[in-house]
Structure 1
Amino acid sequence: MTAIFGGLFKLADGGKIEPDLASGYQVSDDGKSLTISLRPGVMFQDGTPLNAEAVAWNIDRDLKTACVCSPSASWPPLAEEGITTPDDHTVVLNFSRPYAALMNVFVSTSVNRIASPTAVQKMGQQEFSLKPVGAGPFEVVRNVVSSEIVLKRYEGYWKQGQPYLDGLVFKAIVGDQPTYQAIQAGQAQASTLTTPSIVQQASQNANLTVNQQDGTSPWLIQLNTAVPPFDNKLAREAIYYATDTEAIRTHLLDGLYPATQSFTGPGGLFYQPEVPGYRTFDLDKAKQLVAQLGGLKVDLFGGTDKVATETVQVLQSQWQQAGIETTIHSYELPRTIQELEGKKWQAALQSNGAFDPGVSSGVPFRFLSSAPYSGVQDPNLDTMIDQAAATLDQTERGRLYGDIAKYISDEAYAPFMIAVAPAAVARKDVHGPGVSTKIPMASVSLLPVWDEVWIENS
C-alpha cells in the first residue's frame, strides 16, 4: 500500500507527523478543524492530478466505510460544513467536537492513502483492487492474488531522483521459517519476522541485518466481562494472579520484548510499563480465589501462528497449576472475528494498541462498550476514554491515559503481557528506513519508506 500510494503524511522519529504528499497542515486551536495543504504538481500514476478535489473524494469515501481501517472508527462526526476545498491545493475538515489524535489517525488508517478517483470510477472497485492507482513511488505491473505483486518505478513521482529502486516484488510466504529460508537462499531480500528463535538465528547470520522494532500493541488476555465466568471480578483476578508473564517473556520469547501492564508499548505515546496496584503473578492467591469460586473453567483461544499457539499452551499449563481448567483453541482470523462478534467467548489471547492510544485500534478497540471486539461494557470507562481523546493538552492527556490503565487494572478487565513487535530482516546489501534501520510504527505493521530503499552494488 505504501509503495503504491505513498501517504499524505508520515510518522517520523520522536512521534512527529511530517507531510509527504501533503505539504503541511494546521489544526485549529479548538481541535475541531483541520486544514491540509497539498503539494502543487503531484500526479497520480494515470496522469490525473492529486488535488483538493481528489483528496476530499477519498476522505469522504473512507468515512463511509465501516471498518477499523477507516478514520470513521476514530474521528468524531463531521460538522455541518463537513469537508470543504477552498482551492485546488487546500482541504478543510470540520468536526463536531475536538479530537486530540486527529493527525495521528492519518498515519494509522486508510485515509492517508489517496487513490485516483478517475481510476476507481473508470475501472470499478474489483478491477481497481487488483491494479490500484496512487501517487506513490511505484506502480503496479502485475498482481497474482495471494501469490505476488510486481511493481515498477513510477517515473512521474514527485520526489526528484526517487525512488532509488527500479522495481519491487512482494511475495506471499506463509510462516517465519519459510520466510527466513527464502532470505537465506537469496529468493527474498527483506521481510519481517516475529518468532523469537528465528529472529535470534537471523541476528547471528553475518549476511543479514536485523532491526528489532519498538512495539505499540501489547499482547493481552482479553476477558469477556458480560458472560460467566468473567462477569465475576474474582474470576478475573484469578487469571491475573495465575498468569506468569515474566516466565513467558523470558523462556518462550527469549527476552526479546518488554513486559507491560497497560495498553501502551515502548514505540507509542504515553508508554507506561508499570501500573500502580497491578496484580502480578501470585500462585497462592490464584489458588485461593479458585477455591473461593468453587472451581474455575475457562475457554481460551488465540491465533494459529507458532508463537501464539505456544503461548496459549503455556497459559493453559500455568492456569492448571492454580486449579483453573482451561480448554484452548487456535483460530484463523475469520473464526476469531466470528467468535468476538458472537459475544459468547470467554477469554482470548489478542493484541491491543497503536502509536496513539486514542485512535480506534488503540484502547477503544478492546475496551469501549460500543466497539465490536470489546470485552468490556462499562459506561464509566467509556467516559474516561472519550475524555482522554478530547483533551488537547498532551501532558494532561498522558495523565488521563494513566488513569484509564489503572482503572482497567483495578477492575481486572484484562491482564496485559508483552509488547511484541516485528523484527526487520534484510540482506546486508539492502538499505533503507524500516528495512535496515529502525523507524516508528503507527500500529502493528512495519511500513518501510520504500522510496528511500536502495541496494548496494557488489
Structure 2
Amino acid sequence: MKKTLLLTALLSATALGAQASELKIGLESDPDALDPDKSRTFVGRIVFTSLCDKLVDITPELSIVPQLATAWETSDDGKALTMTLRDGVTFHDGTPFNAEAVKANIERSKTFDESVRKSELSSIDTVEVVDALTVKFNLSASDATLLAQLADRAGMMMAPSALSPDFASNPVCSGPFTLTERVSQDKIVLDKFAGYWNADAILLERVTLVMIPDSTVRLANLQSGDIQIVNQLSATDAAAVEGNARLRFANITGLGYQGLTFNGANGDKSNNPLGQNAKLREAFDLSIDRDAINQVVFNGLFTPASQPFTPASPYYNPDFPVIKRDIEAAKAILAEAGVQTPVKVQVQVPNTPVTLQLMQVIQSMVAEAGFEVELVSKEFATLIADASVGDFQISQQGWSGRVDPDGNIFGFVTTDAGFNDGKYSNAEVDRLLREARTISDPAARAERYKAATAILAVDRPLIYLYHLGWLYGLDAKVQGLTLYPDGMLRLEGVSVTE
C-alpha cells in the first residue's frame, strides 16, 4: 500500500515540459466482443473504461460514486431505486443520454439472447422513465448488489441508436474516447471524444492498446519505449522494471482470483471423471501446492486461495482456509473411488507464457497423485467462447473481482447464471445466494455467503488457486495515474511527458 500511495503521489505531480498526445498500453490478450452485454473478458473491461461510461463508478477505496448518474435513493422497502442523471451528456454519435436511453439499455441487457448480464440485473422488474433526467428501477425484491452491478458492464450505457446484435463491430457509447480502429489480435485505437461531458479531465488525444500475449515481449516493448504501460506485468519481470531508472513498478491488491472450472453438465465434454465425481475433484485439489505456485510462478506477489473472497473480506469463511497439499490423501481418494490411474483429463489454458507455466506446474503436481493432464492452449477470447458452450473438461480461467461479494460468486455457481460454464446446480446454494442479494445487513449477508462456500467446498464446481495482484510496468513519463483494486485503467488526468 505504501508503494501504491508513493506511486500515486509521484505520478500525480504536474508534468514538466510538453505532453505527448498518445498513450500506448500493452495488453496481455485480445478482448472479446466490444459489447457490454456480451463481454466476459478482463481486458475488455479495460477498453470499456475508456469507451463506455457507467451509471456509477468506484473510488480507489471502493466507494460508489457518481458517473452518468449524479444522485440516487432507495425506497424504504428497498424495492425501488431512483436515479438522477447527468445533464448535457451525449453519445459518440451526438444523440442525447437521458432516461429513455437508460431504459433501452437495461431492457436490452435483460432480454438480449446473447446477454451475460441477465443474472446481474435479474432483480429489476421494470424501468420507469420519470422524466428526461430521472429513471426509476422497480425491483422484484430488495437488491443489495444492484449499485455495484451498475458500476460495471451492466451499468455501461450504449447509444440506443446503435443497439443491434452487431453493436460490437461499431460500439457507440458516451465515454471519453471513441473507437477509431480495431485489428484483431493486434491493436485497438481510441481517439478523444470532443463532446465528452468531462473533456477537460482528458489530456490524451489518442490511446492505443496493443495485444502482446508474451510477457517478455511486453517488457521489451516497455524498455524500448514502444509502449508506456504494461498491463499485467509478469511477476518475474518486476525486478527488471524496478532496476531501470526510466521505468517504474507499481502494484495493488486486487479483488479477484484465478482458478479451474470443471464441466459438470454442459454438453458431451462434461462426461469425464472429474466432471462427474466431486471426490475426484477433491483429490485433484489436494494434489496442488498453492504456496509453491505463488513462489515459483509469481515470486510470492500473489495470495494463495481456496474460496472467492480474500481473508481480509468479511465474507471469507475461516472454516475453509487455503488447502494444503496432501498427496497421500489424494491417492487414497483415488483408490477408494476405484478408478483406473492415471485419470486422464484435458485442461484448456490461455496461450500466455505465465498461464502456461502455471498449468505446467499444476500438471506436474497432480501427476504425482495419479492424474494425467493434457493441456490445450487457446487464445483467451476463444477459450471463453468455448467455455460458454461446454467445449471443455476443465478450464483455467479466473475473475477480476467486484466490489460487492455477489459479483465474485453468484454468476458462477447459481443455476443457469451467465458465467456458470460448467452448469453447476445446487438448490441450496441458489437459495442462499439469492437471499444474500436481498439483505443489506453485512453480518446477515455474511452468514449466507459462508454457508454457500461451505457447500461449494464439498462440491467443488470450481477450485480457486490464488487471489490476484495487479502488477504494472510504467514509463516514468506517465503522469497522473491512480491505481484501483478492480484493475481498471482510468485515464482522467493522465498524461505522457515528451
Per the alignment, residue 217 of structure 1 pairs with: 256
How does 1:272-421 map onto structure 2 within 5 Å?
A: 272=316, 274-276=318-320, 279-294=323-338, 295-296=340-341, 297-301=343-347, 302-333=349-380, 336-337=383-384, 340-341=387-388, 343=390, 345-352=392-399, 354-356=401-403, 359=406, 362-371=408-417, 372-374=420-422, 376-421=424-469
Per the alignment, residue 63 of structure 2 pairs with: 16
Q: CA deviation at 1:406?
A: 2.3
2:220 partner SS: helix
Per the alignment, residue 117 of structure 1 pairs with: 160
Per the alignment, residue 449 of structure 1 pairs with: 490
Counterpart amino acid of residue 409 in structure 1: A
Which of residues 302, 309, 329 is equivalent to 1:264? 309
The CA distance in 2 between the partners of 1:342 and 1:408, in whole Å, is: 22
Per the alignment, residue 193 of structure 1 pairs with: 232
Q: CA deviation at 1:245?
A: 1.0
The CA distance in 1 between the partners of 2:323 and 2:86, in whole Å, is: 51
Q: CA deviation at 1:160?
A: 6.2
The CA distance in 1 between the partners of 2:457 and 2:413, in whole Å, is: 12
Per the alignment, residue 4 of structure 2 pairs with: none
Q: Give per-residue Cα distances to partners, 1:397-446, cap 9 Å, x unaligned.
A: 1232122222222444443211124323221111234xxx32131xxxx3
Contact 2:306–2:321 under 8 Å retained in 1: no
1:218 partner SS: strand
Q: CA deviation at 1:184?
A: 1.5
What runs of 5+ residues in structure 2 fail to find an aligned partner? 1-47, 266-270
The CA distance in 2 between the partners of 1:141 and 1:338, in whole Å, is: 25
Aligned residues: 440
Which of residues 21, 32, 35 is equivalent to 2:79? 32
Q: CA deviation at 1:236?
A: 2.5
Distance 1:173 1:330, change over 3 A: closer
Q: CA deviation at 1:340?
A: 3.8
Counterpart amino acid of residue 348 in structure 1: S
The CA distance in 2 between the partners of 1:355 and 1:88, in whole Å, is: 30
Distance 1:223 1:313, change over 3 A: same
Q: Give per-residue Cα distances to partners, 1:321-370, cap 9 Å, x unaligned.
A: 123333333233465356545658543333246314655x6313332232
Per the alignment, residue 76 of structure 1 pairs with: 122
Q: Give per-residue Cα distances to partners, 1:296-338, cap 9 Å, x unaligned.
A: 4031312222122122221221112123333333233465356
The CA distance in 2 between the partners of 1:147 and 1:343, in whole Å, is: 27
1:451 partner SS: coil
Per the alignment, residue 105 of structure 1 pairs with: 149
Per the alignment, residue 235 of structure 1 pairs with: 280
Distance 1:439 1:392, change over 3 A: same
The CA distance in 2 between the partners of 1:314 and 1:151, in whole Å, is: 38
The CA distance in 2 between the partners of 1:314 and 1:388, in whole Å, is: 37
TM-score by length of 1: 0.85
TM-score by length of 2: 0.79
Sequence identity (%): 23
1:36 partner SS: strand
Distance 1:38 1:196, change over 3 A: same
The CA distance in 2 between the partners of 1:177 and 1:287, in whole Å, is: 38
Contact 2:123–2:143 under 8 Å retained in 1: no
Q: CA deviation at 1:246?
A: 0.9
Which of residues 101, 110, 135 is equivalent to 1:63? 110
The CA distance in 2 between the partners of 1:414 and 1:168, in whole Å, is: 36
2:200 partner SS: coil
1:164 partner SS: coil
Distance 1:173 1:314, change over 3 A: closer
What runs of 5+ residues in structure 1 fail to find an aligned partner? none
The CA distance in 2 between the partners of 1:92 and 1:344, in whole Å, is: 40
Per the alignment, residue 206 of structure 2 pairs with: 167
Counterpart amino acid of residue 89 in structure 2: V
The CA distance in 2 between the partners of 1:65 and 1:55, in whole Å, is: 15
Q: Give per-residue Cα distances to partners, 1:7-43, cap 9 Å, x unaligned.
A: 2211113321100122112222333221111122223
Which of residues 232, 255, 268 is equivalent to 2:300? 255
Distance 1:201 1:66, change over 3 A: farther
Counterpart amino acid of residue 133 in structure 1: V
Contact 2:290–2:465 under 8 Å retained in 1: yes
Distance 1:382 1:454, change over 3 A: same
2:488 partner SS: coil
The CA distance in 2 between the partners of 1:144 and 1:237, in whole Å, is: 42
The CA distance in 2 between the partners of 1:129 and 1:223, in whole Å, is: 29
